[in-house]
Structure 1
Amino acid sequence: MIMDPLHKEILRKHRLNLSNQILIDDTIVQFLYQENILTDSQVEEIQAQQSNKKKTFRLLDILPTRGPRAFDTFLKSLEEEFTWVKDKLLQDLEQQNVLAQSPTNDKLNIPEATLQAVPSDRHFSQLASQLGAEWESLLLDLGLSAGELYRCRADHPLNMHGQVLAGLVRWRQTQGRRATVHRLIQSLQASDIHPSTLNEVFQ
């Protein structure tokens, strides 16, 4: 059995924040091992990483492969020392459940043909102008790796618009015809960016 796709999405969306906010060395990893979420070899693999950030990234890579109990057990592991992190994840999960129950297109005035189209550079530039710090969460949800995000930042230092635009173009290059406006909307929702942002871009 696999992890609930919504739980997987929450972990992916909060990947960067989690790597900065939690320390996984002792309580978290040992609790997950105790609850049979992690195996001996997985614990060793996580602990072998050189920094807490890398250990957290490795844990977040492993968790979605550990079945339907993994997400809830991970939340329990946060109860003692990282309650505020757990509360944030639960709050986001509740918001995503509400979004999932309301049709996306009801909030949008974008024609179906446009939703299925691949965005142009002009569209990407307009969208990049409207995004703030949440752009990294958006691009991670679209499937870019942490390494690709790093290259976007390195290639365009002190220029957030350039960083976002480079990431969106990279997503279109890797996904081809699957890089649709509709797919963008799904990731905007997953990143807490209201999809109506796209109304202005695609009018």
Structure 2
Amino acid sequence: MDLRHKEILRKHRLDLSNQILIDDTIVQFLYQENILKSQVDEIQSQKRLLDILPTRGPRAFDTFLNSQEEEFTWVRDKLLQDLEQPNGSGKNTQIWNIPEVTLQAVPSDRRLSRLASRIGSEWESILLDLGLSTGALHRCRADHPLSLHGQVLAGLIQWRQSQGRSATVHRLLQSLQSTDIHPSTLDEVFQ
């Protein structure tokens, strides 16, 4: 899925989860269009469509919009309106006051730990956007059941290890753009 599409879904996540009933119609439509495969049971049992959808390829967003045509046209219209705005949510990495050399660097354990302490409930969406699988997220939760910081840090380290040199601060900030973390907080982490 295109980064801009992911940002729009993340931005409207609360509205989507409150306004859209993840019923058989939407899930079956996405299955029929070959967007979802084995995730159908997981989505129906745990209501995790908005977590899984961004990982389902470039057609996922448009197909999701098409699934909203009949019952949830106002939601579809809102997403399309946001998509038509230049730069999606209007944010870009230039709001971060971080030197270019730092943006291109791979974040250290210390920086990831500081960041993990500032990420709240959006941590799973951020890590999914970074490319971690739902299985990896489950392992992070299972390995650190009593520590949100430990879960987030384990996920960030796993992302960095799997991506190697492409696990840059810039890539991390792209995934953080739609969260409620204030840019000045991240300036402290990455300065």
TM-score normalized by structure 1? Answer: 0.69
Query: Mind listing any 5+ residue stretches in structure 1 that lack a counterpart?
Result: none
1:73 corresponds, among 57, 66, 75, to: 66
In 2: Cα distance, 1:108 partner to 1:153 partner: 30
In 1: Cα distance, 2:184 partner to 2:88 partner: 13
**Other-structure match for 1:90:** 79
Contact 1:28 1:78 in 2 (8 A): no
Matches within 5 A, 1:54-203: 57=49, 60=53, 64=57, 66=59, 69-79=62-72, 86=75, 90=79, 93=82, 101-105=90-94, 107-203=95-191
Q: Does 1:38 pair with 2:28?
A: no
In 2: Cα distance, 1:92 partner to 1:141 partner: 22
Using a 3 Å threshold, how does the CA distance of structure 1 residues 78 and 63 change in structure 2: closer, same or farther? farther
Q: Deviations over 1:74-95 (max 9, x none)?
A: 3325518xx7xx38x739946x
In 2: Cα distance, 1:68 partner to 1:51 partner: 16
Deviation at 1:101, TM superposition (A): 4.5
In 2: Cα distance, 1:68 partner to 1:44 partner: 12
Using a 3 Å threshold, how does the CA distance of structure 1 residues 92 and 159 change in structure 2: closer, same or farther? farther
Using a 3 Å threshold, how does the CA distance of structure 1 residues 46 and 108 change in structure 2: closer, same or farther? closer
Q: Deviations over 1:30-85 (max 9, x none)?
A: 6x48xxx935xx499579737614796598379645477424213325518xx7xx
Higher helix share: 1
Q: Residue 147 of structure 1: SS of its match in structure 2?
A: helix
Contact 1:128 1:164 in 2 (8 A): yes
Contact 1:7 1:93 in 2 (8 A): no
> Which structure has the larger Rg?
1
Using a 3 Å threshold, how does the CA distance of structure 1 residues 143 and 189 change in structure 2: closer, same or farther? same
Contact 2:82 2:89 in 1 (8 A): no
Using a 3 Å threshold, how does the CA distance of structure 1 residues 4 and 144 change in structure 2: closer, same or farther? closer
In 1: Cα distance, 2:108 partner to 2:163 partner: 14
Q: % of aligned pairs identical?
A: 52
Amino acid at match of 1:135: W
> What's the C-alpha RMSD, in Å, of the aligned pairs?
4.0
Contact 1:114 1:181 in 2 (8 A): yes
Residue correspondences, number: 184
Deviation at 1:202, TM superposition (A): 1.6
In 2: Cα distance, 1:91 partner to 1:44 partner: 22
